[in-house]
Structures are given as C-alpha cells and as structure tokens.
Structure 1
Amino acid sequence: MDYIEFLGTGGTRTPSQGTTCLRVSEHCVIDAGNLINTFGDDVFTVEHIFLTHSHLDHIIDIPFLADLFVTQKSISLKIYGLSATLDDLRQFIFNHRVWPNFEEINLIGHSDKTIELIPLELEIPYTVDDIVLTPFKTNHTEGSCGYIIEKEGSAILFTSDTYRCERIWELLDERPNIHTLITELSFPSAFDKLAFDSKHLTPALLADELKKCKRNDFTLYVMHLKVLFIKTVIEEINALQLLRNGGKILIDGDRIEF
C-alpha cells in the first residue's frame, strides 16, 4: 500500500460513519473504531493494531475481533499501546466480566494466546510490513499518543484525539520529511470549556496552535468532528482558513498517499 486509508473518521458513531480507524499497511491499522464493517471477510488480514488511547470509539471492535480470531487464526492478534492504555484494556474490557480475557485464552488448536498486548515506548520507531510507526505523547488521556507514519522516508503526522500539544509543532519543525498533518477537530469554538474538560480541539484552538509552527508547507487535514456540530465546525474551519495545501475534512473511505 502506498497510502493510508481512513476506515473511520467520525467523532461519533452513526449509521453512515465509523469512528477512528486507519489502515496503514496490509496487516496493520491504527485504532479499531470501524474494523468489522469495513474489512468484512478480509478482517482476518488484520494482525497488528496500534492504539492511540483506550476511549471506546478507538477500541470498540477489538473485543469482537478477538472473538472471531480465537477459532480462526494460528497467530495472536498483536495490540500495541502505551502502558496506561493496555492496562485499561486489561482492567475494563478483557476482565472476564465485560468480555472474556483473550490474553489468557489460547487460539483453538494452537499454543498462542488470542491476543498479545505489547507496550510501546515513546519516540521509538516500530516497523510493521513496510511502514514505520513512531508514537509521541499527546494531551488527551494518560495513555494517549499520536504517530509519525513513515514509508521510504516520506512521513505523515497523525495526532488522533488531543488538546493543545507542543510536541506536534516541534515534530513538524524538526522533521521536514513530514508532508502531512492529520489532526482532530471535535467541537465548535463556543464549547471551549467542554473542549478543555474532554481534551479536544476546536477551530479557534487549532488556529491558535498553528501559530506555534514555523513551517507552512505541509498539508493539513482534520477529522473527528462531532456529528451534532458538523455544520458549525465546517463554517468555522472555512472562516479561519484552517485547511491548507490541498487539505480537507476527512470522511470514511478517504485515502492519503505517501
């Protein structure tokens, strides 16, 4: 694959839109907000899931995927995340109460467990297929991160959910090979208190954050708009001229080339 495919881009799940899920290579995705519906019968090609954090809209299909894998696969489903994110999966999802603990359950007929939870270290590159993923800390939850997604020296910066975050702009200035920034916009600017409390961005906040970056040669895409406020947020995006160098508001099915 010479592109990233956006399987889910919404800030809220609706009948026509999934939540955050990016296919970055043949066997690897970032987040699991819309795996089952989009992959269909090909879902068994997914072997690696890199998580940005443990909020439900980013992990929702993992339990169902594990339920499918346990009888059909011969190797574990590998799930990567910062330690706090993986701890949340163990404590709140795979705990034999909300869902079976597939970290302890073998694949049928095989010695491997159904899932393997693999802790990530910040700013360390991880290679899967022909893609290099480097997690960096974001300002959303204790275990939240974004990723530099790199192939053959060409890089895309994906923030996932975040509030104000200095590291985003530092990375853009430090790494000229990053040609694209994909960030979130969730609420209208009038909801600045809600944005602060839930650690999300508004158009006004993003406009202010962009002033921190010395570069202006990267393409800027946004996603994660909350469905109830899409019209208002789009109006603000246009008024503030936030999208640059061919960027757009991403929808399910969109692709960005490396």
Structure 2
Amino acid sequence: MNIAVLGASGGLGGMTGSTCVQVSERILIDVGTGVSQLLLKQMQQVRHIFITHSHSDHIACLPMLLGNLFNVADAGEPVTVYGSADTIAAIQAHVFNWVIWPDMQELPSKAAPLLRLQTITAGQTIAIDGISLTPFATYHTVPTFGYSICKEQQHTVYVADTGYASSLVEQINQLGVIDDIILECSFPNELAAVAKQSCHLTPQLCLQLLAELTQPPKRVWINHLKPDVADEVHKQLRQQHPPQGWQVLL
C-alpha cells in the first residue's frame, strides 16, 4: 500500500488515533486525531484535505491543523477542503462559525483566506500532483464518501464508514481492479443490531461484502475497530479464516 494510515481507530483509546490517511505530503483524507502522528513541519505541507463525512472522529483536528498553517500557506494556494455538499455545509455551520472556531475563509482576510471549502460529487475525479481521487457514496448515517485513489499505477480504495448495502457493492465493483482496499469493521458479530442501526460493519458483514466483489482486491486492510471491542473483532476476523493477505489496522 503506497499511502500511510496515520489514524485507524474507531474512537479514543485505540493503538492509533481516529481516522486520518496521508495520501501524499500535500494530501490527507480526513483529519481525525491520527493527524498528530505528523510532525509540525509535515503538517505545514498539507494543502488538500478530502473529508469522508461530518462525524467528529473524522474532522476533530481540522481546525487545529489549519491553525498551524498561517505562517506557511501561500495566499495563491489556500488549503482546500473537499467534501459532499452535506459535509461542507455541516463543517461551515458547525465548525467554522466563529463559535466553535473562527471562519478561516475570512482569515487572514476575505481577499486571501487560508481555507477554501470545495463541494465535490460522487464520480468526480480530482487530480493533484499526478494522483487522482474519485469519491463514491458509502452507506452511513450521514452522507459519506469513500475514495478511489490512483497513485503510481496502484489503485487503493478507501471505503470509509459504512454499513452493508448492495448499492455499495455495486459501486466498488465499478471501480475496476483494486490493489488495496481499506474496509471498516467497527463491531463484533454479537453487536450486529448496533452495527446495523449505526451503519457500520461486523466481521460477518465484511466477509459478505468482500465475497460479492466481482474482482477480489489483492490486499484487504481492516480499520475503524471500536477500541472497547477491538480484541473481540480481531479474534472473530481470525476465526472466520479470511483470505490470506488481510491485515488489521488498529
């Protein structure tokens, strides 16, 4: 896998922070507490942030990350945050509202802001520095994007938060040959009712989803385990004899 998973936990108390994926020095997907794995100088290189959805474990550190960039960001290239219309609206209304955090679309000035919020749609490919990212809809409690990432002739699919849905299987099957897929597995099988209500996956649902893919990925990476049940989820994944090559990101 040619991207770095800085945060893979589904909450606080895991071995890593919450969701943050480093696609390149300049590109992140989500800004959960895992972003703290970066040094300050590494944070200051970030210029493009793709958000999967508005839940706090995926955006918790966005304001503070941006606060580290005032002295280094070029006025001609503000930091761009990408997301669905619903996600961008939620971030604008509930984060950069001068109550939770200042509106960085107005700082240091409206004419030359640090932050630019950009709405993107499913199927729209964004190309940056020779890397392409294409969002697709997952199945979650709020509108959520996964991302298809093509970098250096490798194809990584980051599924983000999701429950099982045939529509998700169809979308992944349309993405073509996949080298690496990063798939969540939040709850153990005994909590299937909770997983269904909150639109997350269990080991059984992970296996069901993967079994329905027309072209199995070369490698499968599991993340977003809830820390208090992570040991049981990990145990069940091993017991169900998943295909060789599965790795659990904790």
TM-score (norm 2): 0.91
> Does the C-alpha gap of structure 1 residues 189 and 16 become closer, same or farther in structure 2, counting only changes over 3 Å?
closer
Q: Does 1:145 align with 2:145?
A: yes
Displacement of 1:167: 4.3
Question: Residue 208 of structure 1 aligns with which residue?
Answer: 208
Question: Residue 86 of structure 1 aligns with which residue?
Answer: 88
Q: Is the 8 A contact 1:161 1:184 kept in 2?
A: yes
Structure 2: distance between partners of 1:153 and 1:38: 26
> Does the C-alpha gap of structure 1 residues 204 and 37 become closer, same or farther in structure 2, counting only changes over 3 Å?
same
Question: Residue 40 of structure 1 aligns with which residue?
Answer: 40
Structure 2: distance between partners of 1:182 and 1:15: 17
Matches within 5 A, 1:108-187: 111-187=111-187
Question: Residue 28 of structure 1 aligns with which residue?
Answer: 27
Displacement of 1:217: 5.1
1:146-186: per-residue Cα shift (whole Å, max 9, x none)? 00011244311110110013344334433443122110000
Structure 2 spans left out of the alignment, 5+ residues: none
Structure 1: distance between partners of 2:14 and 2:227: 11
Structure 2: distance between partners of 1:229 and 1:111: 48
1:32-86: per-residue Cα shift (whole Å, max 9, x none)? 1122442333211000000000111111111102222234422311100001001
Matches within 5 A, 1:43-62: 43-62=43-62
Structure 1 letter corresponding to 2:118:
I
Structure 1: distance between partners of 2:232 and 2:14: 21
Q: Is the 8 A contact 1:154 1:177 kept in 2?
A: no
Structure 1 letter corresponding to 2:60:
I
**Matched residues, number:** 247
Q: Is the 8 A contact 1:12 1:57 kept in 2?
A: yes
Question: Residue 12 of structure 2 aligns with which residue?
Answer: 13
Displacement of 1:213: 1.9
1:182-234: per-residue Cα shift (whole Å, max 9, x none)? 10000111111211221111112222223322333532110011111111101
Structure 2 letter corresponding to 1:82:
S
Q: Which moved more, 1:85-94 or 1:6-15?
A: 6-15
Q: Which moved more, 1:130-139 or 1:69-78?
A: 69-78
Q: Could you list the runs of 4 or more consecutive aligned residues of structure 1 that deviate by over 4 angstroms after TM superposition?
A: none
Question: Residue 248 of structure 1 aligns with which residue?
Answer: 247
Structure 2 letter corresponding to 1:68:
N
SS in 2 for 1:9: strand
Q: Percent identical across equivalent pairs?
A: 29
Structure 2 letter corresponding to 1:155:
H
Question: Residue 226 of structure 1 aligns with which residue?
Answer: 226
Structure 1 spans left out of the alignment, 5+ residues: 252-258
Structure 2 letter corresponding to 1:173:
N
Displacement of 1:116: 0.5
SS in 1 for 2:142: coil
SS in 2 for 1:190: helix
SS in 2 for 1:70: coil
Structure 1: distance between partners of 2:218 and 2:191: 28
Q: Is the 8 A contact 2:177 2:217 kept in 1?
A: no
Displacement of 1:15: 7.5
Structure 2: distance between partners of 1:72 and 1:114: 10
